[in-house]
Amino acid sequence: MTRIWPGETVGILGGGQLARMLALEARRMGYRIAILDPDPEGPAMQIADVRVPGAFDDPQAARSLAEKSDVITLDTEHVPAALLELIEAIKPVRPSADVLRIVQDRLEQRRFLEAQGVPQVRYAPVSDVEDLHAAAKVAGFPCVLKARRSGYDGKGQVRVGHPDELVGAWRSLGEAPAVMESFVDFEREISVLLARDLEGNLRFHPIAENVHRRHILHLTRVPARVPAQLASQAEELGARIASALGHIGMMAIELFVTGNDGLLVNEVAPRVHNSGHYSFGACVTSQFEQHVRAVCGLPLGDPSLLRPAVMVNLLGDIWRDSGPAWSTVLRHPTARLHLYGKRRVSPGRKMGHVLVLGEDADSASALAESIAAALERGTPPGGSTWT
Ligand SMILES: Nc1ncnc2c1ncn2[C@@H]1O[C@H](COP(=O)(O)OP(=O)(O)OP(=O)(O)O)[C@@H](O)[C@H]1O
Ligand SMILES: [Mg+2]
């Protein structure tokens, strides 16, 4: 069993905000950080010790990252599994190519979940127009057509309300191989955030309750409003999935809570996750430190919640001619600003988030929503003053 100690180098495939926060926590612990990403100025590159600019499918760049690192992990599951396999021969890669091969393809993921007996939406594969109509029969209307690969933040998926819209939906995905799912009229969305270490031990962060807008995570609230029995069922599903995959590191399992307290798994992410950002400031051990601990072969940390917390995402939409007036956030002593250092701004792009800690989740949520609304309006309450 290879343990990686502070002073050694953690290599990350991907240099976005997840890698940046992993790097911040790893650096605090004394690790060095190496990043491979096509953007030499991306969020994690800005704070890396070793930069390897390159494409995710460039074997030369991946080899170079492996040679400069003591362990390799990732901030995106959209890295070719074959490339991971290539570097597994050089250095430990956690999670492994085998985990990625299943998770990065929605159809493979659904089939794997089905084989594990995990409850999920009705689904059917689509690879041509004939399948499309057959799959809609399985899923029923409304349904959601999702490309098998490369989706995030609702990209690569389209809701279909009526049989007449099927062909248009399929064309809008470029006729890429896809999965048809039934549309779930859920009561709530939650996520299980767990870590699995090299010995198979599991630790759970408090379950997150998530609100999406336009298929993009808007807000996470913790503790989640779910009965204890439902929470332990959700954790049991997470444990089954992570253990069956042989996963190492943090994992997020997104679930729909349906009427009568039913649970359906939406999707699995083999990495730190946006719905776990609250832990960076609200828990004894953040998801980022926990992931570093797991992939470095250290014992897992205590994931307990210190205070009720609400995280709200800051999207590019609130950037106008200049950046938002940060006094809107910073005037509140219990609100903590996280910005990812992204230079390119576009609508829907995740630029940062605000974490609000409170006496209870309701008051934290009210403050977080009022900050988000003020940022959207573009006028800081109290103008440019702090009062
Ligand atoms: N079958 C469904 N029924 C109802 N809502 C859905 C369904 N699939 C997706 N959604 C909604 O869209 C959101 C994003 O979908 P999903 O998680 O599948 O996509 P993604 O683009 O991979 O997102 P992520 O950024 O989490 O990777 C979900 O959190 C949910 O709110
Ligand atoms: Mg999702």
pLDDT of 293 reads 98
pLDDT tens-digit map of 254-276: 999 999 889 999 999 999 999 99
pLDDT of 106 reads 96
Residue whose CA is closest, atom 1 of ligand 1? 183
Cβ of 154 less than 6 Å from ligand 1? yes
pLDDT of 150 reads 84
Section 204-217 average pLDDT: 97
Q: Which ligand is nearest to the CA of 110?
A: 1
pLDDT tens-digit map of 152-209: 777 899 999 999 999 999 999 999 999 999 999 999 999 999 999 999 999 999 999 9
Q: Which atom of ligand 1 is nearest to the CA of 146?
A: 18
Distance CA 8, CA 32 (A): 6
pLDDT of 261 reads 81
Q: Please answer whether residues 178 and 151 qualify as being in contact, where contact means their C-beta atoms are separated by less than 8 angstroms.
A: no
Ligand 2 centroid to residue 14 C-alpha, Å: 18
By the CB criterion, residues less than 5 angstroms from ion ligand 2 are 254, 267
Cβ of 70 less than 6 Å from ligand 1? no
pLDDT tens-digit map of 110-130: 999 999 999 999 999 999 999
pLDDT of 292 reads 98
Ligand 1 centroid to residue 36 C-alpha, Å: 28
Q: Which ligand is nearest to the CA of 271?
A: 1
pLDDT of 384 reads 53
Q: Indicate whether this model's pTM tops 0.85.
A: yes
Residue whose CA is closest, atom 19 of ligand 1? 154
Average pLDDT of the chain? 95
Ligand 2 centroid to residue 217 C-alpha, Å: 8
Ligand 1 centroid to residue 300 C-alpha, Å: 29
Ligand 1: residue of 113, 193, 266, 267 to mutate (most ligand atoms within 8 A of CB) is 266
Fold topology of 122-182: Dna Ligase; domain 1 (3.30.1490)
Ligand 1 centroid to residue 266 C-alpha, Å: 7
CATH code, 9-93: 3.40.50.20
Q: Which ligand is nearest to the CA of 155?
A: 1
What is the maximal distance between C-alpha atoms in the chain? 63
Q: Which atom of ligand 1 is nearest to the CA of 152?
A: 21
> In CATH terms, are 9-93 and 122-182 the same topology?
no
What are the structure tokens assigned to 235, written together? Answer: 């954790």
Domain spans of the chain, in order of start: 9-93, 122-182, 188-377
Statement: residue 387 has pLDDT above 90: no
pLDDT of 320 reads 85
Q: Which atom of ligand 1 is nearest to the CA of 273?
A: 26
Section 218-225 average pLDDT: 98
Section 289-316 average pLDDT: 98
Section 2-6 average pLDDT: 94
Cβ of 54 less than 6 Å from ligand 1? no
Distance CA 38, CA 55 (A): 5
Ligand 2 centroid to residue 76 C-alpha, Å: 13
pLDDT tens-digit map of 48-71: 999 999 999 999 999 999 999 999
Band of the pLDDT at 380, cuts 50, 70, 90?
low
Name the architecture of domain 188-377.
Answer: 2-Layer Sandwich (3.30)
Statement: residue 2 has pLDDT above 90: no
Ligand 2 centroid to residue 41 C-alpha, Å: 26
Ligand 2 centroid to residue 375 C-alpha, Å: 25
Cβ of 77 less than 6 Å from ligand 1? no
Better pLDDT: 215 or 384:
215
Statement: residue 13 has pLDDT above 90: yes
Q: Please answer whether residues 133 and 145 qualify as being in contact, where contact means their C-beta atoms are separated by less than 8 angstroms.
A: no
Ligand 1: residue of 186, 215, 217, 271 to mutate (most ligand atoms within 8 A of CB) is 215
Section 321-338 average pLDDT: 94
Cβ of 189 less than 6 Å from ligand 1? yes
pLDDT of 386 reads 54
Ligand 2 centroid to residue 270 C-alpha, Å: 12
Residue whose CA is closest, atom 12 of ligand 1? 215
Ligand 1 centroid to residue 185 C-alpha, Å: 12
pLDDT tens-digit map of 74-124: 999 999 999 999 999 999 999 999 999 999 999 999 999 999 999 999 999
